[in-house]
Structures are given as C-alpha cells and as structure tokens.
C-alpha cells in the first residue's frame, strides 16, 4: 500500500509509505493546509533521520571509518513498513538493514504514529535502540505549510506567534553548515513578521527556544498551531519561489563548519542506551 488516508470529519490526512511522509492535511471543507510539492522543493513534510542538516563534507566518522551521509539523512528516502492503519490513525516503521548500515553503522528502529484527535493531528516518533552499543542520532520533522495560507492574502500579512518571548540570538547556515557565532533575533517579543527576506540566508534556527508552540496566522485564514514535546530546537525555512513555510521541531542541527570529530562527539545528538527508547512528538492544531 503506497499511502493511507485518515479522516475524523474535522481533519483528513494522507500519509505515504515512502519516507512515512505526511503529504496532505485538509480541513472539513477541503482546504489544503500543506504545500503540495513542486519543482522548487519536491517534498511535503519529510522525516529527518539520523541527522538534521548537514555533516561536514557529508561524511560520518565512527571507529576510524568514514561513511557517506547526505543532508538530513536517509529516512525521508526509504520506504517504511505499515504496522497498522485504521480510519483515525496509522503506524509505520523503519529498521536498520544492510543498506542503512553501509551509511550509518548503528542498529535502530523508528516507529511513527499518526493520529487524528478532534481538530489536531498528532505525530509520535518512537526511536528505539535494539543494538548492543549506544545509539547516537538526531531526529527532526519538516512540515511545509502553504504560504500564503489562503488565496489572495499577501505573504507579508502572515506572522508567527510564539507561546513566550524569544529574545535569544538565532543561528544561521552557510552551505548547509552552522555558521560561527549567533545573530540578533528578528522575533519581536513573541511575534515574527514573515517576509521572504528572512530566508535569503537559508533557515532561521532557534537553538534553545523558550517556547513549545507557535501559531501561524494571517487575517482571513485559518490559524495553525504547531506544538512539540521532546524536540529541543526549532527551524524555520522557506525557499525563494516556493509558496511554503516550514515549521520544523528538531532534536539536533547541522555540524559547525569547523567540526571534524567523530560522530558521537557532535553536538545535538540523542544518545540512546541499548534496549531503551525515546519518544518525540508534535501536534498540528487547526483553530
């Protein structure tokens, strides 16, 4: 089965087996909330695993060996296995195999649950370590919402409202790697006015956000709230020419441009002991 649709009368969602990717999220009246892919960026809401962002030279170093690991890892390009599916939810899983071991020499199991609850879609990520050694990994989500949210609304009429003030400096990228130092935040108190110029230098990264939710709003459009548990960073991204805004809870981030150490020494990793599991989740709520 290539994809599965769930529907509770308030929201409907379509999930693909390829990448366990959310490809559609619609209101009861049929309004699409997600970017529907396209030449500018051909994805909807990819899963970022086992890294978030890039590694220097796209190389992962472990026990004296080097492995090729490209941006955001391989999960988004792998076919997950359906574990269950019903009218209101589904679960998919990905486990290590010889192909993943050639890129990432660790045992893992990643289960992803999708469930509709009233006016929310809840997505739970269960990352388990079935191996005999510690599992170092990052995990992130990358949902792309329509921008503008409705036809006829100017892009610069949209804003993000965080659940608390965000005065801390932000991080930026250079060729996909974390730039040295930090930069003044464009967030004014709790509000970020959205313009395409914000993303001229790639993603805007909140490395230690105080908030655990953000509301995406515009006059005359539905309000979307994204909240998260377990994730520690937040990325915001769009691409010139793309009518989308990505609101991305992460655990992890790109390597600093000067980092050449072993993968286990990289900042922004989950370290899961043998036999243990970590849960990270996010919720999209329509109001």
Q: Tens digit of pLDDT for each residue in 175-214?
A: 999 999 999 999 999 999 999 999 999 999 999 999 999 9
Which has the minimum average pLDDT: 82-86, 256-260, 276-280?
A: 256-260
Q: Tens digit of pLDDT for each residue in 84-121?
A: 999 999 999 999 999 999 999 999 999 999 999 999 99
CATH code of 3-286, in short, is 2.70.98.10
Domain ranges of the chain: 3-286
Confidence class of residue 287 from pLDDT cuts 50, 70 and 90?
Answer: confident
Cα–Cα nearest to 116, from 124, 127, 108: 124
Q: How far apart are CA 130 and CA 181, in angstroms?
A: 37
Q: How far apart are CA 192 and CA 119, in angstroms?
A: 25
Determine contact, residues 194/187, Cβ cutoff 8 Å: no
pTM: 0.97
Q: Is 58 helix (H, G, I), strand (E, B) or coil?
A: helix
């Amino acid at each position: 089965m290539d994809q599965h649709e769930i529907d509770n009368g308030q929201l409907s969602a379509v999930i693909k087996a390829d990448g366990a990717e959310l490809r559609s999220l619609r209101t009861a009246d049929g309004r699409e909330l997600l970017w529907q892919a396209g030449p500018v960026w051909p994805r909807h809401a990819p899963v970022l695993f086992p890294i978030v962002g890039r590694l220097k030279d796209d190389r992962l170093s472990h026990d004296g060996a080097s492995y090729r690991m490209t941006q955001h890892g391989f999960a988004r390009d792998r076919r997950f296995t359906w574990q269950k599916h019903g009218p209101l939810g589904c679960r998919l899983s990905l486990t290590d195999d010889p192909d993943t071991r050639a890129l990432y020499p660790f045992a893992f199991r990643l289960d992803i649950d999708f469930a509709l609850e009233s006016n929310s879609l809840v997505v739970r990520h269960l990352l388990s370590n079935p191996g005999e050694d510690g599992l170092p990994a990052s995990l992130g989500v990358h949902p792309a919402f329509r921008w503008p949210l409705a036809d006829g609304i100017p892009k610069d009429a949209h804003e993000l409202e965080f659940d608390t003030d965000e005065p801390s400096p932000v991080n930026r990228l250079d060729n996909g790697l974390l730039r040295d130092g930090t930069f003044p935040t464009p967030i004014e108190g709790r509000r970020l006015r959205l313009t395409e110029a914000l993303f001229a230098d790639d993603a805007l990264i909140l490395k230690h956000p105080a908030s655990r939710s953000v509301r995406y709003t515009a006059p005359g459009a539905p309000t979307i709230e994204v909240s998260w548990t377990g994730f520690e960073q937040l990325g915001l991204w769009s691409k010139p020419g793309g009518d989308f805004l990505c609101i991305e809870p992460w655990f992890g981030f790109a390597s600093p441009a000067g980092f050449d150490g072993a993968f286990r020494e990289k900042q922004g990793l989950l370290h899961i002991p043998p036999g243990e599991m970590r849960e990270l989740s996010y919720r999209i709520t329509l109001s």
